[in-house]
Structures are given as C-alpha cells and as structure tokens.
Amino acid sequence: MDSPGYIVLSRLSSQMRASQLTANNLANAETPGFRAARPIFAEHVQRQGRVLGPNGAGNVGYAWDRASWRETQPGAISQTGNPLDVAISGAGFFVIETPRGERYTRAGRFAIGADGQLVDQTGAAVLNTDSRPIAIAPNDTRIEILGDGTIRSENGVLGRMRIVRFANEQALRSEGDRHINAAGQDPEDVARPNVVQGALEGSNVQSVLEMTRMMAELREFQFATQFLEREGERQQSAVDRLLRRRS
C-alpha cells in the first residue's frame, strides 16, 4: 500500500474514534451529571524523500487522533422531590471514596447504603470535609441538605459534603459514566458551594444534535471507505497494465 492508502486509513481510524465518542455521548444522554466528550484531531506531516514536483509535493499529511476534550457547560437541573438527590449549581464536584482512591462526580443521586453511609449509585461513599464517609442513623428520618452541603436531621448536624474543583478540568480523566479521576491534580475546596436538595443535574448531551453529528460522521466514514476502494482499484489497474506490457 502506498501513501494514499495509509492516509485514508489514518482518516478512517480517526473517524471511528469520533463515532465512538458520539455513541458514548448518546448512550449517556440520561446519565445525571454526564459531560459530553469531543475528539481533537491534528495533522501529522511526514517528509518523503526522492519526490519530484513542486514545493511541498514531498509532504504527506496523516490524520492524528491527539486527545479528547470535555464540554464543561452544566446540564439542566430538574426537581425530583427525593431528599437524597443533590445537584451542584455552578462549579464543583462531590468527593467519593472508591477502592481505587478518591474520585469525583457531578451525579448527585445518592442513597443510604446497607452500612448507613451516604453512597452514590455505584455504592461509593460520599465524603465530608474531613474526607470521611457521612453516616446517617436509622433514626435520622428528616434529612435536610443546606446550600453549603451541610447535612442535618431532627437529631442535629450529620456532616458537610466536600465540594471541590480543579484548575484544569480538561486534564481530568473519566472513569465509567459517572466518576472522574483527578489525573494528578490537587483538588481545591469550594468555600461557598451552591447545593440544591431534591434535584439532579442532567447530562449536557443534546440528543438531537448528537444524532445529527452521528449521521454526519457515518457519511464521512463512508466517503473515506469509498476512496480507499477506488484507490485499491487504481493500484490493481496499474499492476495489470504493467503485466500486459511485459507479456
């Protein structure tokens, strides 16, 4: 395979990556706190030797899948009436404890676990400002969560949820559809968070736009595939002509 074939293959590989991200966005259109991801592509220019032609004829550009970026605009906040559903209005992440260490999330659909701890949907404990799990006793029946994340019941204050933010959200790594890995960044405590009880932040994915984007990406993939097929036919035709001349 010569350069045109490799160039198209690099384009197909990048287009497949873009389609995978779009499909994942669509799959999480109803996931609380989910942030859509987009690919970042660049051109990798390679110099070919022994090429005759005008200036620049020896440069070959390949599609380069560099990274992905996260759309940081928040999703819409909707009221649920569940006292353990919590949304963050503005910047910040809840801190949770997982077997892999501290992780962060915007998905505030919490519940009381079997051990009496406040947990998210994966069973990870929600941490307080002392980085300890928040315990809710069986006789704590009237749960109230204040705007600063303080949790209290008819028996008194149970703790305050830790809300943090990061200097560079694009450097964070997603783990699954709800958890975030700090990727080496130090979290900064949000001094005055704005927490809303009985509400959830939805995904910031717009399903109609994602479907439109998916169809456009499918067409791009088809165009590149057709080009590769024609390139194969061109090469086979060239080989056939050479063989006829030798015979």
Tens-place pLDDT, residues 9-45 = 777 788 888 888 999 999 999 999 999 998 887 666 6
* 116 and 11 part of one domain: no
Round to whole Å and give the CA distance between 84 and 145.
Answer: 8
In a domain, 206, yes or no: no
CA distance linking residue 156 with residue 144, whole number of Å: 10
Q: Say if residue 195 is in the same domain as residue 81.
A: yes
- Which helix (DSSP H) or strand (DSSP E) does residue 229 occupy? helix 207-246
* Confidence grade of residue 242 (pLDDT, cut at 50, 70, 90): confident
Domain count of the fold of the chain? 2
pLDDT for 89 beyond 80: yes
**187 and 237 fall within a common domain:** no
Of residues 91, 105, 238, the one with CA closest to residue 166: 91
Task: Tell me the C-alpha distance between 7 and 60, whole Å.
Answer: 8
Burial class of residue 48 in the structure, from the number of CB atoms within 10 Å of its CB (0-12 exposed, 13-18 middle, 19+ buried): exposed
- Based on the domain organization, do 165 and 234 belong to the same domain? no
Q: Are 160 and 151 in contact (CB under 8 A)?
A: yes
Residue-level pLDDT at 51: 52
- Which of 81-95, 148-162, 168-182 shows the lowest mean pLDDT across its residues? 168-182
Same domain, residue pair 64 and 86? no
Tell whether 37 and 149 lie within a shared domain: no
113 and 30 share a domain?
no
Q: Flag whether 208 is in a domain.
A: no
In this prediction the pTM is 0.76
Q: Measure the N-to-C terminal CA separation of the chain; round to a whole number of Å.
A: 24
119 and 235 part of one domain: no
Residue 207 within a domain: no
- Containing structural domain, residue 122: 77-201
- The SS3 assignment for 238 reads helix
